[in-house]
Copies of this chain bind each other. A is one copy, B any other.
Amino acid sequence: MYEPNTRRKQEYKQRIKYILDTAESIFAEQGFFRATMRQIALKAEFALGTIYSYFGSKKQLYRKVIETKVNELVDFVTGKMAESPTVQGQVEKFVHTKMTFLHKNPAFLRLYFTKVDVPQLDTEHTWPKKVREKYDSMLRCLTDVIQRGIQEGFFRPMDAKVTTKALDGLTNAFAISWLNSKKQMSVEADMRTVTELFLYGAATPQKSIRNSK
């Protein structure tokens, strides 16, 4: 028989990862349809057939790329959020870790925003259900925090899910803008802006002193 030993298993994992990373960069550069399997094979230095033997099809390879990265993102964000005890701390962690991750993974950042969540299309224009659910689990985590904040009186009595949507969208807006800017943007400044704007809004407080920080 052919019992793969440890090294062999490791090598296999490494190869998978290498192919996934390569595919990610090419999909990010060119988009799903422009990217070709030949390109990916070439850049990853594997034969075309090998890629197919590993991933079956272009679509599956693509899904795997997305799935892997979203899992990474979500685990990173939720993990960090759990570290903070306070509501405000957790919200800040969400903003901070999500934006940091997207900033550190520019290829993924592109993939992330090339996709739209339109379940009607189960094609390459939407996220696989598994991925969607993983992402939702992160949002639910945020919703719980916000809900707690409302109960504690830290947040105004709003719909927690809607508020989640707003904060998620706010972070997205800034991340998207990184795609355009040639010059190096200050990520830290953006994170602070998002947090502040989300908590206190744009309008000047009337006859009041805000608890800033």
Contacts and interface: CB of A to CB of B under 8 A. Distances in A.
Contacts of A117: 176, 179-180
- The CB with the most chain B CB atoms within 10 A, among A29, A155, A176, is that of A176
B207 A209 contact: yes
Main secondary structure on A side of the interface with B: helix
A138 to B, nearest CB: 15
A49 interface: no
A109 to B, nearest CB: 10
A154 interface: yes
B116 A176 contact: yes
26 contacts: A30-B121, A31-B125, A32-B33, A110-B116, A118-B180, A119-B180, A155-B202, A155-B204, A156-B202, A158-B193, A158-B197, A165-B174, A165-B177, A166-B193, A168-B173, A169-B172, A170-B170, A172-B172, A197-B201, A198-B201, A199-B201, A200-B200, A201-B201, A206-B209, A206-B210, A207-B209
Given A31-B125, A165-B174, A166-B193, 9 more contacts: A118-B179, A159-B193, A166-B197, A170-B170, A170-B173, A198-B202, A200-B203, A206-B209, A206-B211
Contacts of A123: 30-31, 34
A211 B117 CA distance: 37
A187 B210 CA distance: 31
Nearest to A206: B211
A129 to B, nearest CB: 12
